[in-house]
A and B are shown apart, each in its own frame.
Chain A
């Protein structure tokens, strides 16, 4: 029964968002929790700690292996002045397709696409060819720690799940069985949630997001225009020619 209680306590510590700081393959908070609860350090450097067997189901991956390479999400926002917004939007869509990406959303004057991260620079270079880049904002968000944390929480949750299954097989009292099943259900849901988060994070790392807003050249901000002191230039073009 002590083992069952221990499983619940570690599960609660690990899965309730307390695993943000990881240490040696185990949540720091969980370690502190175990130490405080059972009076024994939950550190791998101290053999014989009572809580040790619980999380040994999966050997912790060396920290350097988990952290390398860095996981970075690239996001780019551009405002480009063009003569034809519609065709420029189609050009960006075609570019995304050619680079192995896809369209995320499209409006009257903007398009957001996902581009394989390795081809982000190529996409940015292609964008510059469409017109005059009025504004750009490229951000790189390092999510290595977040990914590592999720990975640790997942491994802990899976270890707990395995332990609960083992307990369930041994359990004979109906009340214990019900409680273990309830906890197992919660842990399974949590595992699915963490896996979903990891998948999304991995996808965000693999595919950069590029949002391009197009501005018609004639509506471009004044600072991008240089007006020459010859008024008749302004009367060139279709408007004057075709007006009677």
Chain B
């Protein structure tokens, strides 16, 4: 019986370590499963700032530079975002070094901020995102940066 419980615990521990994760900023509430969309994790603040984490297949094992360039090009050259800052993210735990990009974009005359932290971990690309009205995001910038830097690759 003891061996069985130990085995179940080890399996659960292993399973819990298989999916990537991030720590949400204070004041954020994780959404229900049916609101996850394409994300592995997603949380929202009462004033409408959203953070989320997704993992995508990295079929050719492309480099971090490849994905940073692809994402920047997608957002800036195809969708009119303005890149306002790009900074490196140091290696953290089992997660390889990444890159954090901060963009602004106009929506109905209102400025929004969008942040994307990119990590490449073996066969996966991990993207932690945050976004909301700039006037709201600006007050949470430190917390959001900390959250986006907290990505753990897990077993990917």
Residues of A within 8 A of B (CB): 82-84, 132, 216-218, 224-228, 230, 232-238, 240-244
A243 to B79, CA, bound (A): 17
CB of B130 to closest CB in A, whole Å: 8
A113 to B56, CA, bound (A): 48
CB of B18 to closest CB in A, whole Å: 20
- Chain B residues lying within 8 Å of A233, measured Cβ to Cβ, are 70-71, 74
Known contacts A84-B106, A242-B132: A232-B38 contact under CB 8 Å: yes
The answer to whether B70 and A228 touch across the interface, beta carbons within 8 angstroms, is: yes
The answer to whether A236 and B74 touch across the interface, beta carbons within 8 angstroms, is: yes
A242 to B45, CA, bound (A): 11
The answer to whether A236 and B129 touch across the interface, beta carbons within 8 angstroms, is: yes
A123 to B58, CA, bound (A): 44
Most B CB within 10 A of own CB, among A218, A224, A236: A236
A227 to B73, CA, bound (A): 9
Chain B residue nearest to A235 (CB atoms) is B38
- Chain B residues lying within 8 Å of A225, measured Cβ to Cβ, are 77-78
A83 to B106, CA, bound (A): 9
A226 to B70, CA, bound (A): 10
- Chain A residues lying within 8 Å of B37, measured Cβ to Cβ, are 240, 243
- Chain B residues lying within 8 Å of A230, measured Cβ to Cβ, are 56, 70
A143 to B98, CA, bound (A): 59
The answer to whether A218 and B79 touch across the interface, beta carbons within 8 angstroms, is: yes
Cross-chain pairs A/B with CB under 8 angstroms, 15 sampled:
A82-B80, A83-B105, A84-B106, A132-B77, A217-B78, A225-B78, A232-B38, A234-B74, A235-B38, A236-B75, A237-B105, A241-B131, A242-B50, A242-B132, A243-B37
Q: Give the interface SS of chain A, mostly helix, strand, loop or mixed.
A: mixed
User: How many chain B residues touch A (Cβ–Cβ < 8 Å)?
Assistant: 33
Known contacts A237-B114, A241-B114: A83-B76 contact under CB 8 Å: yes
A202 to B112, CA, bound (A): 47
- Chain A residues lying within 8 Å of B114, measured Cβ to Cβ, are 237-238, 241
Known contacts A83-B82, A236-B127, A236-B129: A241-B52 contact under CB 8 Å: yes
The answer to whether B116 and A236 touch across the interface, beta carbons within 8 angstroms, is: yes
Q: Does B3 contact A (CB under 8 A)?
A: no
CB of B126 to closest CB in A, whole Å: 12
The answer to whether A241 and B80 touch across the interface, beta carbons within 8 angstroms, is: no
A82 to B82, CA, bound (A): 9
Further 16 A-B residue pairs, CB within 8 A, beyond A83-B76, A236-B127, A238-B114: A83-B80, A84-B82, A132-B77, A225-B77, A226-B73, A228-B70, A230-B70, A238-B105, A238-B131, A241-B129, A241-B130, A242-B48, A242-B131, A243-B37, A244-B31, A244-B35
A237 to B107, CA, bound (A): 12
Q: What are the nearest 3 A-B pairs in CB distance?
A: A83-B80, A217-B80, A233-B74
